[in-house]
Amino acid sequence: MTDLPALPEILDTARVVALPLHTRFRGVDVREALLFEGPEGWAEFSPFAEYGDAEASTWLSAAIADAWHPRPSAMREGIRVNATIPAVPADQVPGVLARFDGCRTAKVKVAEAGQSLADDLARVRAVRAEMGPEGRIRIDANAGWNVDEAERAIHALAPFDLEYAEQPCATVEELVELRERIRYLDIPIAADESVRKATDPLAVARAGAADLLVIKAQPLGGIERALRIVAEAGLPVVVSSALDTAVGLSLGAALAAALPVLDHDCGLGTASLFADDVADARPHGGMVSAARVVPDAAALARLEAPAERRGWWLDRLSRCHGLLAADGR
């Protein structure tokens, strides 16, 4: 980023927020994020706490680009989204689904540490029962299985008519092997971590390791870079979120709106996982808007993170900004 804004320009509007979740998700009960405002509007910097500065700086690059540069032209005003079902007990599934107004697709978390395949089967069965035969169900293992475990699990879950299985294994090589093993099931494989956490996000496409890609704007460095990856990969894509606030979800929706082709419901309805947010980005009628979000001033104040956490995020912002400056980005 050759026109990197000076750090004080970002710090001048920086707000650190802590959003409570209805249900523990991805190991957290509260999602923290740093928001700031640039000439084009508000943007979000929210790499997960365990990520190192080198990886987190790519997320900052995305946020700066969103706040300082216009978004690309939109091909659509609204985006169809899926419901997201955390690794909850089966009896909690109806309550979770009820928060995703009008969604015809559900992504179900599986392979949770400490749980069993029986737990996954019960959860997916409950989702199918709630959504009926017309509902679309996709599973997400977050690389939690080895190849043998993935083959067994997907075979067991196949009767529930899966749309696809997302990141069942960790490596590109494992995905290639698994895809060959389960070809007879005709269940597509989607790659997420193999794209957003990879040094070469196109390796999974070149290896024939996936049938579609899950694309996230922040981890990939912003909309423009994500669009280039999609164009070069030549595979169908699903635009998803990284448990973003309403501001970050707006960036994802803008990416989805800019795609020439969008055949799958997107994972941009995760605002419904939050008990409170800086703006209302929940799906309505199974859709979210592609318009830029402006956070509510009262919500920013209400959700302000404790001083210790604010200091942690500002220090992180400063370090990542320094990395971008050193790299000439």
For residue 324, the one-letter residue type is L
Exactly one of 31, 71, 99, 109 is catalytic; name it: 109
Q: Take residue 121 and report the two structure tokens written for it.
A: 């089967």
Cα(292)–Cα(115) distance, integer angstroms: 38
Exactly one of 99, 216, 264, 321 is catalytic; name it: 216
Partners of 30 in beta bridges: 20
Cα(154)–Cα(189) distance, integer angstroms: 10
Cα(63)–Cα(136) distance, integer angstroms: 32
Cα(118)–Cα(33) distance, integer angstroms: 35
Strands laid side by side in the 41-45 sheet: 15-25, 28-38, 41-45
Q: Annotated catalytic, 216? A: yes
DSSP 8-state symbol, 32: E
- Is 174 annotated as contributing to ligand binding? no
- Is 12 annotated as contributing to ligand binding? no
Inter-CA distances, 4 with 34, 47, 323, Å: 18, 19, 11
For residues 24 and 86, the answer to whether their CB atoms sit within 8 Å is: yes
For residue 133, the one-letter residue type is P
- Is 192 annotated as contributing to ligand binding? yes
Q: How many residues does the chain have?
A: 329
Q: Annotated catalytic, 107? A: no
Please report, in range form, the residues annotated as the binding site: 140, 166, 192
Give the residue numbers marked as catalytic.
109, 216
Please report, in range form, the residues annotated as the binding site for Mg(2+): 140, 166, 192
